[in-house]
Structure 1
């Protein structure tokens, strides 16, 4: 057994073996995998093995698609049959809402090259007469996926890994991790059988590894404690049952008919597939409990929980109605075991927070489906520095170490489990563990009709609905088309374009970077010129591949004192990258101090033609009439002002593209400032504005957003942001950005779409001739142009004003035209307005 390796993978399920295999395939010839028990002894052994090709996540869809394609090739390489039954996947819909959901799924699938077809109830009945279809609206059918034997595919990947030089050691448990400054020392204990249990022996070994990957499945909480971090990966009970033979199904197969596809009855919260003349029925019911919040008991190995028939009775009866011929089939076997979840259902894949060369692959609720693709893309991140797709949506740091707790993870994971088959509206907001993080003005906003969204734990107004609406209004307003909230957002957007609006932007991420090395560091770390003292600049930090890692608004408060503002959803993500980069460069540039001050400062954004009129009335200045003029307070500058008794760091910038200011204020004075603004704003008809209207307005200005237009799969140059790139200086990722050239290009499109729907930013783009050429990354409605609007990426030659394209909405192609950058006020005359 080796004791010194390039990479150590901890965990021998489908995910861990895939990572080891793909690291070796990518060229690392010194990889080891350790497993505390036997390979597949975690959730892998009792998984149903389904392989759904895609969901609404762009990154996850790529991962699933890679897995499906990869598993089909394994036998040729390893000689082991992974048991892949390519029977297809039939997603049925009982309602038009469900069909609308599938239409959005389908357009997203097309952006990743996933094929599908639509079936009517009659077509379903014609192909598979055992399925009752009289209550269905239709279905979406994928021919390329199906199900696989989880143990077989894991063993095939393990064999492939061994063939490529990976050493796999069973009955070896990782018990401690120590970073020496250059490598990891992992203390491991040999496990032995004793009385049917697995217990530690007296034999220990220290394995030295440059990189460590944890794929510990249900043991994620134990892993997190050893690493000194938090992970919201907690198992939830999942039940599937095996039914006795269905006589009609047996006759169907004996007559030479093909196997049924995996049948997903989403509106009945279940899936089913054939199993030796009977059916396996898997269920995503309500009230399935989280387990092992504080660690898996030593006595729990390849074990299961008792079956709770009462909990799944409704779904069981729905199955006997969907396939009536199975009504008299008895229960042959049951599996109720732990499967790890995360609050949003996506796994935690990427660098661990605060740790060097420690990689996480945890929280896989669909581990068999994601195993192959996770190994492939994580190996790219480790070996090459970045994956070919943007993996930020799966990054472990999307849940901050500062506020995430075990209780939060357990409750949200239970919710995520019972939401697997809930309608996933793009404007979905889930209620569990909320409200949790609230700005002081939360209660005031709620009393005024605010309907809140969830951003990194924060409650942030999405829009302001009726003041007297019940708490269920936001849920009732959701839709795959223009929901009940749509007109409220229209009115809010108009208020900013025509008058004045107030937005709560407290969730913004905020960092102070200062010290003797701060200026040199930030000049190297970001691609734009640094602003002069008292001014601001928009800039980007790049990855080592030259793609966009983070967007910052930088305010220069002093020669070596900077205030950085970035997206609210990415606080820990930004902080971790900033700190690690500073640590590496401090010896070269000098001392750099970094402070996360997100929770110290609230932010109100006031914008619109009348915004200066509102602030004039409350600014404490010798000459209030000129205090906010272009001469004294020009566009893209920052000043410390006083609004009444509240000290404010004011920044003259507006994400909406109108005259406006961001008012950064001490969080403890937020309610005072809110009340002051509301009292004076009333006479100017100031309207409260939520995030949805703000998003529409930024689209009219072609303002890119991190996590949509900006990400690790495109460079700032490909995002078409040359004005924010200073090619006269050297900066991190510059050479790599230039070497990539322009592979794709970001553009804004005006869309003549359906009368009752707008794009969400997940749709596929075509030429008028029917060639797929790109995808939308953002979408919404334009109050300025009175039509749908979107931003997205197309091939460079098409990103030219006037190019005619088609966008797929509700399974139809609609006319779209590439417009100029910043179609609303392209010369920035309104945002520079003097007064």
Structure 2
């Protein structure tokens, strides 16, 4: 066995073999894959092998699309038939709400070039008469996907990897990882058969690897323990049953091709043809998580006992949908572990806190994603970045606050929600509330309806406190939900009066020391602010795209507070700390401290915000303390509000006159009460995140994870004012070499009367050519119509350009407006007083 390799892939399922294949195809000549048992012996062997396109995530849609296309090339490449049956995928809907979900998905699919067809119940019945359609509203049909044999596709990828020089070793278990500063020392043990069990033998070895990829599936918790990190990938039981031949299906097949894969999402199951019978795979309630502390040594290619009572409802609904299946007896049953994560997306990318360690864990749809996961992870490893933004799958999207119990409860919820309507405004309830700021109870008493951001409870909007029982705070919609009217009033309050927003979830990182200024000047693309001032800036990837957005507060010559998105705290801080480690010898001593939970943040904004603060500020001259002369726009000062010391920042994400108020977290309830009491005379209204999201689009403020990401440069985001090309900074050369391939724009949209875009929609010319996509969407109270932001070809990014937005399966008029259509001269935000 080799003991020195460029890359070591640990895990021989579909995901691991795909990664090994793609690393070799990308040019890495010395790749080895280790499997503790036999290839496919984990979840791969008992997977149903479905290849569904349907996914609301832009990145995941690309991954699935790549897989489906790639699997079709394997036989020509390797000589092995991967067992791909392109039978199509029919996703049925029993309700109009489900059809709305499909309409939103379809527009997202169009941005990725995924083909689909709409079908009426009559068309379904005519084409597939075994399906009962009298209670259906319609369906979306993908003609180019189907199902594949998991073992065959894995073996084909393994052969393709070997053909490209990959070494595959079976029956070797990893027992330890040690980073030397330049490579990984991986301790391995040969596994042997004893009494039907697989146990460590006497033969051991150490493998030196420059890079390691873990694709350990159900064994992710053991991997986490060996690496000393947290990996929220824990398996959940998934059952499916195989019936005896259905005589009606057998008869139908005499003159027809294979039946498509059927999905009745409202009934929570998939069904596909199998040797004249049916495979039923339900996603039922109360499926338990397993192996939260590791897989027992005795568990190999094993299964759990079937729990038919748990899936009785889904089984009966299959009989309802395919009446002929009632006569087919049960032939086989499977109940095996399939890994999940709290949000259902895999963990694909760099391991938090570690160098050259890559995770490919938590694949609940592993066969569907394996091909694309290997392709895009290989791009990240070999080229430095993938061609699509992979942040939504990054393992560092979960912070160190996450526990095993949290992962268990959220993973069980993710499993149950596979077929529950995926509203864009959904808020899943499991493991909540968990992280709450001190003002949480105050806000809840005022009617706050919360969303979860990185575990934090954050008000989305404030509903009526004395709402009648008929008012459903949890009502969701693909159109304007019950919350919409309240968000409108909150947005108007900031535009016309004053509002108070809880922004405590912001990530706050203190960077200080003799090398801090030099490092940050290299690390970010904008010029650093002077002491007492602030600046918006970006840290770039090595490919020149946007890696992180920061607001930098300069407290002293060598002391900086970096404010970034609360949803990306661990993601941002891991990138920052690794960059500091790499460059500290060059710039001098640099200290990085996480202050996120030390300080709360309130944002007060609106024409009357100065009046509210003036009533509570303690200053020798309170009338001028907040004036432009003493407290100009884009500056920061330490002030006292009542008895609370505050670092106030003259900035507002809403584009109105306003301040961010950073305060000691232990004084938060005092400050909340003080501001609410003082604001009563001025009509102060608490405001949630949804109204704030609309308001920032009226100002064309880009949001990280939406307009800003690793697939576009700051120049493509049309932010040249935040890029100082006169200095050297990380990623500058790559950014300039990339040029401007696309450009970010703001659009005003004449959409339907009952719906706004969500930021996932395709953009077209009036002639019908697809030219871009939205990345954000909502409603503008300033213009009384829908608004959105997105990317188009540069030549179209001109004010007045007419486009069409695909919403609810229809094209709606839109026009590109100027940057910052509300108050483009920033007169309101600079207002003196």
Same fold (TM > 0.5):
yes
Query: Which of the residues 737, 754, 768 maps onto 2:735?
Result: 737
- Structural mapping, 1:433-832, within 5 Å: 433-469=431-467, 476-832=474-830
Cα shift at 1:470? 8.1
Contact 2:305 2:335 in 1 (8 A): yes
Instruction: Report the counterpart of residue 143 of structure 2 in structure 1.
Output: 143
Q: Offset at 1:469?
A: 4.0
Q: Report the counterpart of residue 179 of structure 1 in structure 2.
A: 179
CA contact (8 A) 2:473 2:483 kept: no
C-alpha separation in 2, matches of 1:451 and 1:291? 32
The question of whether the paired residues in 2 share the 8 Å contact of 1:54 and 1:65 is answered with no
SS at structure 2 position matched to 1:17: helix
* CA distance 1:462–1:530, shift in 2 (3 Å): same
1:253 to 2:227 alignment: no
Provide the aligned length of Structure 1 versus Structure 2.
833
CA distance in 1, matches of 2:10, 2:163: 19
Match of 1:306 in 2: 305
In 2, distance between residues paired with 1:795 and 1:626? 47
Kindly state the Cα deviation for residue 136 of structure 1 after the two structures are TM-superposed.
0.1
How far does residue 466 in structure 1 lie from its aligned partner after superposition?
1.0
RMSD: 0.8
Deviations 1:297-349 (A, max 9, x none): 00000000000000000000000010000111111000000000001100000
Contact residue 451 and residue 474 of structure 1 kept, 8 A: no
The offset of 1:821, in angstroms, is 0.1
* Aligned: 1:357 with 2:356: yes
Q: Is the 8 A contact 1:34 1:169 kept in 2?
A: yes
Verify the 8 A CA contact 2:473 2:482 in the aligned structure 1.
no
Q: Which residue does the alignment assign to 1:32? A: 32
Q: C-alpha separation between the residues in 2 aligned to 1:180 and 1:759? A: 50
Question: What corresponds to 1:377 in structure 2?
Answer: 376
1:69 aligns with 2:69: yes
Q: 1:470 to 1:146 in 2, by over 3 A?
A: farther
Distance, in Å, in 1 between the alignment partners of 2:43 and 2:282 is 16
Look up the match of 2:79.
Answer: 79
1:77 Cα offset (Å): 0.6
Counterpart in 1 of 2:343? 344
Change (3 A) 1:558 1:224: same
Question: How far off its partner does 1:258 sit?
Answer: 1.4
- Distance in 2 between the 1:664 and 1:633 partners? 16
Tell me if the contact between 1:510 and 1:566 (Cα under 8 Å) persists in the aligned partners: yes
Instruction: Answer whether contact 1:751 1:815 (CA < 8 A) is retained.
Output: yes
Match of 2:240 in 1: 240
**Given the superposition, is the C-alpha separation of residues 470 and 167 from structure 1 closer, same or farther in structure 2, using an over 3 Å criterion?**
farther
Counterpart secondary structure, 2:103: helix
**1:476 to partner: Cα distance:** 3.8
CA contact under 8 A between 1:777 and 1:791: conserved in structure 2?
A: yes
- 1:749: Cα distance to partner? 0.2
Unaligned runs of 5+ in 2: none
Instruction: State the 4+ residue runs in structure 1 displaced beyond 3 angstroms.
Output: 469-476
SS at match of 2:711: coil
C-alpha spacing 1:307/1:740, structure 2 compared with 1 (3 Å): same
Distance 1:612 1:471, change over 3 A: farther
**1:41 & 1:546 partners in 2: Cα distance?**
41
SS across alignment from 2:575 = helix
Q: Secondary structure at the match of 2:335?
A: strand
In the aligned structure 2, how far is the partner of 1:589 from the partner of 1:472? 62
Partners in 2 of 1:73 and 1:474 — Cα distance? 50
Q: Does 1:387 align with 2:386?
A: yes
Give the TM-score taking structure 1 as reference length.
0.99
Q: 1:471, CA displacement in angstroms?
A: 10
| 1:12-42 C-alpha deviation (Å, 9 max, x unpaired) | 0000000000000000000000000000000
State the Cα distance separating 1:475 from its structure 2 match. Answer: 5.3
Partner SS state of residue 37, structure 2: coil
Conservation of the 8 A alpha-carbon contact between 1:474 and 1:485? no
Report if aligned partners of 1:269, 1:421 keep a CA contact under 8 Å in 2: yes
1:740-780 residue CA offsets vs partner (Å, 9 max, x unmatched) = 00000000000000000000000000000000000000000
> 1:782, 1:629 → 2: CA distance?
29
Residue 118 in structure 1 maps to residue 133 in structure 2: no
Q: Is the 8 A contact 1:449 1:469 kept in 2?
A: no
Q: 1 CA distance for matches of 2:471 and 2:308? A: 34
Displacement of 1:468 after TM fit? 2.8
Matches of 2:259 and 2:445, distance apart in 1: 53
User: What is the rounded CA distance, in whole Å, between the counterparts of 1:458 and 1:195 in structure 2?
Assistant: 49
Q: Deviations over 1:497-520 (max 9, x none)?
A: 000000000000000000010000
Measured in 2, the distance between the counterparts of 1:478 and 1:703 equals 26
Deviations 1:511-532 (A, max 9, x none): 0000010000000000000000
Q: Deviations over 1:606-653 (max 9, x none)?
A: 000000000000000000000000000000000000000000000000
Gap runs ≥5 in structure 1: none
In the other structure, the counterpart of 1:94 is 94
Query: 1:474: how far off?
Result: 5.8
Measure, in 2, the Cα distance between the counterparts of 1:425 and 1:532. Answer: 44
- The aligned counterpart of 1:127 is 127
Distance 1:745 1:261 in 2: 40
Structure 2 length as normaliser, TM-score?
1.00
